[in-house]
Amino acid sequence: MATLAEHATTRSYAGGNATFHARLVTASPERPIAICRRTDWGTESLSRMPAVASSVPAEAVLDLGALDRLGPGTVQASSMLLNEIGNTYAVEQLGQFSDTGAVRRRYWPASMWQQIGGWFAANGIPVSEDRISD
């Protein structure tokens, strides 16, 4: 998202809002994607994605100026798109990103956090210990 927004604003001199589309795609039919939410007690699988051809894209109108660099605006936009994808599969809210632009640490596996936690900090993305309502 940030790369697309940066290109639009610096090379094409676009401004204002743009429509973004996002879709989860399986790597292969043998490896389906699970929509799940990490909880304090382990990973709870909430539903399974259908085949790639059946996947539903998410759409959001986003401000290019808030996305032209990595940071809380990018996280907020990601939250909007990911939650819309989750909603189509009866998952009310995915926990990893908040709609305020913070990353919720408790919803990331510890092994993954070791790899990406520093990246969030380096890009000025706040980390939260907030819980989402079940």
The H or E element containing residue 60 is strand 58-63
- What Å distances lie between residue 83 and 58, 75, 87, 103, CA to CA? 9, 12, 6, 14
- In eight-state DSSP terms, residue 97 is B
**CA 117 to CA 98: how far, in whole Å?**
15
Mind listing the pLDDT tens digit for each residue in 11-25?
Answer: 777 788 888 888 877
Mind listing the pLDDT tens digit for each residue in 25-70?
Answer: 776 777 666 665 555 444 444 444 444 445 678 888 888 888 777 8
Maximum pairwise Cα distance, the chain: 48
